[in-house]
Structure 1
Amino acid sequence: MKAIVYSQTGDPSVLELVDRPVAEPEAGEVRVRIVVSGVNPTDWKSRRGSAPGEALPFDEVVPGQDGAGIVEAVGAGVQHVMVGDRVWLALAAYQRAHSGTAQERSVMPADRVFALPANASFDQGASLGVPAITAYRALTVAEDGPRRLHPGALAGKIVLVAGGAGAVGHAAIQLARWAGASVITTVSGPAKAALATAAGAQHVLNYTDSDIVAQIRRIAPDGVDLVVEVAPAQNSQLDLAVIRNRGSIAVYANNGGDQMTLDVRNHFSLNVRYQFLLLYTVGADVIRAAAEDINAALTDGALAVGEEAGLPLHRVDLAHTADAHALVESSVVGKVLIDVLAG
């Protein structure tokens, strides 16, 4: 079978297309024939490392945390999926050398494999994983709840999504709307505003406007309940100016810098909660709950992809995985997918 591997850190040129034997799943594992692989920033950041030529945890690595495909074999003890099932995958490559989705067949732990609802496409499945579960986690960390998402779970809540044209922002808008929230999002210009509107945000604002705080406060006079934050270093003052008493700010990225300064007095006077989150270490129970509720949203048609749904798709084939990494590394707007076309 064909697989993409890298044996040293560096730019996309370190990715190689190789032939590898097909592996058999052991107990608690599943082998999936990959149809579509999704590329995320975490994929190129792991490949690039902190410097070229940096030591890897394994002799070689198959990249790709997310994807979708068809179950081809299951190991002993696996019960929630069976041969022939359509599935989506999350964290496939985490702490594994050869489980990434940038290959024709992948063997991975069964708890990273989830049934794909019949009405959902492989493109949708490959676009979930890191973005959708991150968005789900951000929407379920507030002090006042909810802990799970379902229609009505966020009824009466106002959610501010920073960067609504990004993959996580897109999923956060869709999931928040599905759960009944009113959604405000901030973007940098008209093109991204059109995408955020297509995703379902009711209020799309330009964060470069000098009166952005006043615009948000007109929509949410008592403040927003929850901020899904991609750029805390840049937005900490804005977030403080619009958050309500007992509101929460869920931070999932460090766009704009690693250091931020907080006004302690004004934050504790509002009982503000900051929740930082990293998908790899949130715990299996959170991942499992997220997958269940994401599947419910998929079944309800709430997580569409494509430009008409606010998330343009960019496609390459497996042999051009380096081009896919380069696209994501260049901050292309939308989702980059690899058509694996397994035989």
Structure 2
Amino acid sequence: MKAISYEETGPSSVLKLRDRPLPVPGPGKVRVRVVVSGVNPTDWKSRSGNGSKKLDAPKVPNQDGAGVIDALGPGVTGLSVGGRVWLWDVAWGSNEGTAQEYVVVPGNKAVPLPDTESFDTGASLGIPALTAHRALTSNEDGPARLSAGALAGRTVLVTGGAGAVGHAAIQLARWAGATVITTVSGEQKAELARRAGAGTIINYRTGDVVGAVHQVAANGVDMIVDVNAPANITTDLDVIKPGGTISIYAANPGESLTVPIRESMARNVRYQFILTYTVTDEQKRQAVAAVGEALAAGALRVGEEYGLPLTRFPLDQTPAAHDAVEQETVGKVLIDVAPAP
């Protein structure tokens, strides 16, 4: 089978197309024929490392993907050969990512993909949707698991609503019944956020973010899903309601955040830092279940018409796909690994 792998960290040129033996699933595991692999910032950052470093074993990149189960290991229940699935955290703690024709994963990491949804959607969930779910459930008195109406009566601010996590946060929050406000940097991104379902969209470069938020939520917002806390912290504190939560899920290497202590104390603000890989098992279980429920309800959609444009590459151009994500291509970057059945 064909696979992309790298033997040392570094630029995208370390990614090579190679032939590998077909893996056999062991107990509790399934083999998935990957149709689409999704690329996230964490994928190129992991591959890049902190300069060139020889790895102990070749590593296949990419955490997210979607495909069809083609073999079951002993003891697997609830899944069947031929089942369409979406995959999450595949390369975390493993050398086997989704940039290959077949991948073996634990059964719980292969989640049924409804027949009504595309493999593109399945490959776009993983890190973005699970991160968004944790951000939206980190409020102290909020639900541990999202469901239809679970955030009714609450107001959520999503900064960077045209990004993959922002897009998922808008869709999940809207499905859960929240009033959704988002900030973007221009009209093109504003249109994407509008298609995703945001109710109020603010251009932070030209508009009065604080004034516009308070027009919607006079007492402030319950939660902020923040892509750039160092740049937004002053505004965040101006618009968060007393006892509200600021969820922070992104940072550049070495970046730090200066927190205004007195202002945070005055509002009893809760800061929640999020890395989806290291949330608790229960938090991950709840997130996977909620994302699956939202997906079945048709609440999570991708593509230009739903506010998340797709940029595609074939498997042998995985280096270019990684470069596209590193260069902050708007929308979602996908790799076509094999034809859809």
Range into which the TM-score falls when normalised by the shorter chain: over 0.9
- How far off its partner does 1:119 sit? 1.5
TM-score between the two structures when normalised by the length of structure 2: 0.97
Question: Which 5+ residue runs of structure 2 have no aligned equivalent?
Answer: none
| Alignment partners' CA distance in 1, 2:253 and 2:198 | 23
Q: Does 1:265 align with 2:262?
A: yes
**In structure 2, what residue type is equivalent to 1:66?**
D
Q: Which residue of 150, 167, 173 maps to 1:176?
A: 173
Q: Which residue of 2 aligns with 1:12?
A: 12
Question: Across the two proteins, how many residue pairs are aligned to each other?
Answer: 340
Q: 1:206 aligns with which of 181, 203, 213?
A: 203
Show the counterpart of 2:90: 92
Equivalent residues of 2:143, 2:150 under 8 A apart: yes
1:316 Cα deviation after fit: 0.8
Amino acid across the alignment from 2:206: D
Query: 2:144·2:286 contact (CA, 8 Å) conserved in 1?
Result: no
Preserved CA contact (<8 Å) 1:69 1:88: yes
Q: Matched residues in 2 for 1:8 and 1:198: separation?
A: 40
Determine which of 104, 117, 121 is the counterpart of 1:120: 117
Q: Deviations over 1:232-285 (max 9, x none)?
A: 111110100000011001110015972222221221121110000101110222
The question of whether the paired residues in 2 share the 8 Å contact of 1:234 and 1:256 is answered with: no
CA contact (8 A) 1:233 1:257 kept: no
The aligned counterpart of 2:53 is 54
| Greater alpha carbon shift after TM alignment, 288-297 vs 317-326 | 288-297
| Deviation at residue 212 of structure 1 after TM alignment | 1.7
Q: What is the aligned partner in structure 2 of residue 41 from structure 1?
A: 41
Query: Structure 1 counterpart of 2:48, which letter?
Result: R
Give the TM-score, by structure 1 length.
Answer: 0.96
Distance in 2 separating the partners of 1:301 and 1:321: 29
Partner of 1:27: 27
CA displacement at 1:63 relative to structure 2: 0.4
Structure 1 residue ranges without an equivalent (≥5): none
- 1:140 matched to 2:137? The reply is yes
- Mean CA deviation greater in 284-293 or 159-168: 284-293
CA change 1:209–1:271 in 2 (3 A) is same
- The alignment status of 1:109 with 2:106, answered yes or no, reads yes
Question: 2:7·2:57 contact (CA, 8 Å) conserved in 1?
Answer: yes
- Post-superposition shift, 1:172? 0.2
Tell me, in whole angstroms, the C-alpha distance in 1 between the residues paired with 2:305 and 2:160: 18
Write out per-residue CA displacement over residues 218-242 of structure 1, whole angstroms, 9 at most, x where no aligned residue.
1111000000011011111010000
Identity between Structure 1 and Structure 2 (%): 55
Between the aligned partners of 1:143 and 1:173, the Cα distance in structure 2 is 20
The one-letter amino acid paired with 1:116 is L
Report the AA paired with residue 275 of structure 2. Answer: L
The equivalent position to 1:65 in structure 2, one of 63, 66, 79, is 63
Distance 1:171 1:76 in 2: 35
Runs ≥4 residues deviating over 6 A = none
Between the aligned partners of 2:94 and 2:252, the Cα distance in structure 1 is: 27
Question: Structure 2 residue aligned with 1:244, among 222, 241, 245?
Answer: 241
Q: Is 1:295 matched up with 2:281?
A: no
CA distance, structure 2, for counterparts of residue 67 and residue 106 of structure 1? 10
Kindly tell me: are residues 232 and 257 of structure 1, through their superposed partners in 2, closer, same or farther at Cα, counting changes over 3 Å? farther
**Rounded Cα–Cα distance in structure 1 between residues aligned with 2:80 and 2:286:** 20
Deviations 1:49-81 (A, max 9, x none): 011x2233x321000100000011111221131
Aligned equivalents of 1:9, 1:63: Cα separation in 2: 11
Q: Give the alignment of 1:212-251 within 5 angstroms.
A: 212-251=209-248
- Alpha-carbon distance in structure 2 between the residues aligned to 1:255 and 1:321: 22
The residue identity in structure 2 corresponding to 1:59 is A
SS of residue matched to 2:57: coil
Give me the whole-angstrom Cα distance separating, in 1, the residues matched to 2:58 and 2:77: 31
Q: Which amino acid aligns with 1:80?
A: G
Amino acid at match of 2:199: Q
Q: Flag the 1:158–1:257 CA change in 2: closer, same or farther, 3 A.
A: farther
Structure 2 SS opposite 1:134: helix
Higher mean C-alpha displacement, 266-275 vs 129-138:
266-275
Question: Partner amino acid for 2:89?
Answer: L
